[in-house]
Structure formats: structure tokens, C-alpha cells
Amino acid sequence: GTAEEQAQALSILLRVCSADNRLYAALYEGPALNMMHTVFASNKCIMSPHMLKVILDEACNQSILSTSSGTLVTRAEAAVLEPRLLLLLLRGWRQLHTKQELSWEVEGSSGNRVQQGGSLWALTLCCLRMLVRDDSSRRSFNQYQMSRVRLLPTLLSACKERFLNSEFGPLEPAASSSLVELVGGLMGSPPQLDRLVLLCDFLLLMHQASDTFVTHSRANFYFLLTSETPETSEFQHSFKRRPSRRPRKNGSDAEPSSSSVTSDDIANDSSGVLKEMEDRIDQSSVESTKQMKGIINMQIKEGRKHNISSTSENSDVNVDVDDITTTTVDMYSSGIYHQRKMRAGAEPGWSACEGLLLLLRR
């Protein structure tokens, strides 16, 4: 069916479940609500503003998204009655991240309208932001309803998946600003300690090591605002090859041996390890960095054992310690940045992270 027909079918389902206590418990208390993600991910399902409007209408006491006269208008005067439907939207962010570019108008408190545009995910963030906006009369109640279902951790988890383990491009400006304002509304005023910890942990994860400065105290850390990408970061160029401290013997002075270790062999082993690591990394796992570090540590230990046995068999062979150290560092840094879909601190989430840093400072 069309997008309007599918949205109407979903509206009938949600209204029937709301009218019957037994169906209501079966939908919201069991796994039935999570099964809707499978429906949304189907190729035949059309995620459209009509579908978003149906879910928001059932979650709130009045409509906050209007699709009349072919335009989309978001309003702020609504109370959240069923926040679990909002969780459904945040957990289904992949399906809402459509390629279709939408345009909508945001209605302010004075009646003026501001034109915005972006994907369906950006429109979803904009609608959720309207519920906790400062000029909303139901702001405190909506914050309480959203905190009941832990909407903030779900939102930050969706952002982690969006920025770290997805192939989507940068966030639209409208989505970035809506995300920052939504997080600010969910934090509360004054913010609770557990929510501050969640936000700080999220920002630490989103920033790569070259953009984060940690002091001697574990409780103190600073973020360095920069637009560098992993390819141009100082972390890649901080360990350059230094001149050898030990003079090497010429090929005529030292006889070739099968047990000798050269920097080319180590580099070849490093490239093989990187290829093996890329094959082993689970694309949907955030813990792949730990697996990578473990493989690198195993390779370093094996290399050290091989170096000791080689030097003991042939004392005429000199292995440059600087070359081994530099190769190890290059292998480690390349392994981190060759991790598939690793985009922390890069272009997709940088504008949002910068806004969240300013929010945290305020």
C-alpha cells in the first residue's frame, strides 16, 4: 500500500490496543512493541511523515505534527501520555534515516514559523525537542514522563550507533541543533548527577585520543575542539621514524641468515595482522577496539620472542630497537583508525558533539 494507507493501518492497530486493556498489556508489556522494528525494516514498509505523525499522535494528548495542505508544521503544546512509543522511534533510528529530503516549519511561541529541512530522523528529533522546549507549558511533565522510560540513555545509545557503526554521512544542521536542545531538555535544570555522567561518558567515547587531554587526576579531563579527521590527526604523525641509534652492518659484513629480522618483515607482518583484524572485527560491535588491542598485544609478544631467539642464534645480526618500536606504534595506530565504520570525533557527529560540549559547560 501507499504511505498513507500504511500509516492508517498502524493508527488503527494502536487505537484498538489502547481501547482494550488486554490488548494494551499485550502490546506494551510484552515484546510486541519491539517486533514493530522488524516491520519497519521491511522493504515493503514506507517510513514517511505520515507514519511518524501516527506514532506521535498516540504518544501525546494532541498532535504536534501537522501534515495539512501539504506542509509539515511542528507545535509545542502537547503532553506525553505514552513515552514508550517515543522509545520505539529512537530505537528505530535506522529506518527513520531516509534519503528523502523533507522540509517543515517550526512554530514558535509568538506564532512565527521557521523553515527547516532534513531527513525523517531530523524531523523526529525536532518533534521530540518541541516537547521539552523552554516555552512549552508541559515541559516539566514531559521531562518526567521521558525519564520514566530512560529516554536519555536510549537517545545517546542511538547516537553512538549512528556515529560509530553506520555508513551514514554527517548530521544535518537541523538534526544537530535539535539533538543538542533535546539532550539539554532531558538533562533537566539543574541536571541530575547520573545524567551528567551519561553525557560525559558519551563525549569521551565520541572523541578520539588526539582530541582529548586527560590530566593526572581521573576526575579531570578536557576536550580539544578541532575539526581534524583521523587521517590528518596529530596522532598519526606524532610517531615518526627517528634516525637509528645503532650502526648497521653492511650486507658484505654480515652473512644472510634465515633467522634474521628486518623492518620489512615486521611491516609485512603488520599489514597481515591488520588484514586479519579487519576480517575479525564485527561490524555491529562497539567492543571491536578491545579485540583489536588484544590481537596487537599477542603479535607484539610473538615478535619479541622471535627477536630474542633470532639474536641468540646469530649474534652478528643487529635489530634496530627504534624500528621495532616505531613499527609497533604504527601498527597500533593504523589498527585503531582502520577499524571499520569508526568515526568518533570526525565529521558525522562533530557539530553535535561541539554543541553538547557547550551545553555541558553551561
Rounded distance between C-alpha atoms, residue 85 and residue 18, angstroms: 12
Choose among 91, 103, 93, 5: nearest CA to 54. Answer: 5
| Residue 114 pLDDT | 82
End-to-end CA distance of the chain: 48
E strand segments, 60-170: 65-66, 72-74, 102-107, 113-118
What whole-number distance in Å separates Cα of residue 205 and Cα of residue 356?
A: 13
Whether the full predicted model's pTM is greater than 0.75, yes or no, is: no
Residue 221, H or E segment: strand 221-223
**Domain boundaries, given as residue ranges, for the chain:** 3-168, 234-245+253-337
- pLDDT at position 297 is 62
pLDDT (0 to 100) of residue 65: 87
Q: Residue 117 corresponds to which cell in the numbers above?
A: 529541512
- CA of residue 285 relative to chain centroid, distance: 12
In the beta sheet, which residues pair with residue 113? 107
Q: How, if at all, do strands 72-74 and 102-107 pair?
A: parallel
pLDDT mean for each 10 residues of the chain (362 residues): 91 92 88 87 90 93 79 77 93 87 79 83 91 86 93 92 80 87 89 88 74 57 48 44 46 43 52 54 49 61 56 46 43 40 48 76 70
Assign 73 to helix, strand or coil.
strand
Q: Which residue from 41, 146, 153 is spatially nearest to 84, judged by alpha carbons?
A: 146
Please identify which residue in the block is written with the cell numbers 587526576.
Answer: 217
